[in-house]
Amino acid sequence: MENNSCIRQQADIDQINRCKEAVSELNETFDYLANGLSLVGNNVRLKILYLLFEEKKLCVCDLSDILGMNISAISQHLRKMKDRNLLQTERDAQTIFYSLTPKYSTLLNPFFEILDKNKVLETI
Amino acid sequence: MENNSCIRQQADIDQINRCKEAVSELNETFDYLANGLSLVGNNVRLKILYLLFEEKKLCVCDLSDILGMNISAISQHLRKMKDRNLLQTERDAQTIFYSLTPKYSTLLNPFFEILDKNKVLETI
DNA sequence: TTTATATTTCAGCATTTGCTTAAATAAGAA
DNA sequence: TTCTTATTTAAGCAAATGCTGAAATATAAA
């Protein structure tokens, strides 16, 4: 760390310390939450999540067809999201259906609503 | 696109087409929203956003100090978020204070609440 | 004007991400 | 069992990301 010449004259030391403490206390939480949000913050994965929100369940093959993408690519996205508990699976013979876990369905609802109404440009 | 041998036997063609249409219609919206979420889905930026939520406004130097990171690195994160309208600035002499834009403050509130109560592990 | 403070910008680089292709696994049908 | 369908996994690579360090910009104080 170099460029740290700036220990501000009028910095609020109490504020700085309070913040440092908060960050240190919440550290793993930040990591965990940021990781979850980074999964949602991808073009393809956001589409998958939205489609699952709308259609309840879909298989890799459906998603591959819908998004015009390689099955392998989709499968890798699904795996990441399943590993992080955004998605769950259910097998029906050879076909594996993916769906949103209830927790994330709830948490991401505001974003799906925005997409549903296609009102992002006004809202965000 | 190679591995696309799987045009499922029992695929619901109507469903697939409905989905294709939805995705195509919302395409730029997905891009825009995913880009916004990808900004939030980063460790350092999530911390910055949370700190601004708690403290209302902070300068690069404060954040650099709190997070123990290079000022330049912080500045580059702030720029990205300002460019995407997550943040706004206000100058006070040499110091530039960053704060959340009202829209994103509202939209990200659920995540800040989770952090506030440090209840991520149960919730997510 | 010169000097100090606060911040941004740029170039370079290592790491991470996301896709492609090919091979592996798994379940049902012939 | 062999063949087909559905999916996952692994290796390789190109593009994107995030950090470092140095130089540039901007405001205020001496």
Is A80 among the domain residues? yes
How sure is the predictor about B118, in pLDDT bands with cuts at 50, 70 and 90? confident
Is A65 among the domain residues? yes
Residues 83-102 in B contacting A (C-alpha not used; CB under 8 Å): 85, 95
Considering CB atoms only, which of A15, A110, A115 is closest to B29? A115
- The rounded distance, in Å, linking the Cα atoms of A111 and B33 is 8
CA of B3 to C1' of D25 (A): 53
- Which CATH number characterizes residue A46's domain? 1.10.10.10
Pick out chain A residues at pLDDT < 50: 1-4
Per-residue pLDDT, B1: 40
Per-residue pLDDT reduced to its tens digit, B88-114:
999 999 999 999 999 999 999 999 999
Residues A42-66, buried b or exposed e (16+ Cβ, 10 A)?
bbbbbbbbbbbbebebbbbbbbbbb
- Assess contact for A43 and A63: CB atoms under 8 A: no
Per-residue pLDDT reduced to its tens digit, B39-88:
999 999 999 999 999 999 999 999 999 999 999 999 999 999 999 999 99
Is B120 among the domain residues? no
Chain A residue nearest residue B16, CA to CA: A66
* DSSP secondary structure code for residue A108 in this structure: T
- Assess contact for A86 and A39: CB atoms under 8 A: yes
- The rounded distance, in Å, linking the Cα atoms of A29 and B47 is 10
Angle value at C-alpha A69, between A63 and A75, nearest 5 degrees: 60
Is A6 among the domain residues? no
Residues 59-88 in A contacting B (C-alpha not used; CB under 8 Å): 59-62, 64-72, 85
A95-100 sheet: strands from edge to edge:
A58-59, A95-100, A87-92
Is A2 among the domain residues? no
Per-residue pLDDT, A118: 72
Q: What is the extent of the structural domain holding A93?
A: 13-114
C-alpha distances (whole Å) from B94 to each of A2, A120, B24, B66, B75 are 21, 35, 47, 19, 15
Q: Which of B8, B35, B117 to mutate to test the interface with A (most CBs of A within 10 A)?
A: B8
Work out how many domains chain A is built from and give that number.
1
Question: Which token pair is A46?
Answer: 């956001």
Per-residue pLDDT, B41: 98
Is B103 among the domain residues? yes
Is B8 among the domain residues? no
Is A1 among the domain residues? no
Contacts of A111 in chain B (CB under 8 A): 33, 37
- Assess contact for A23 and B115: CB atoms under 8 A: no
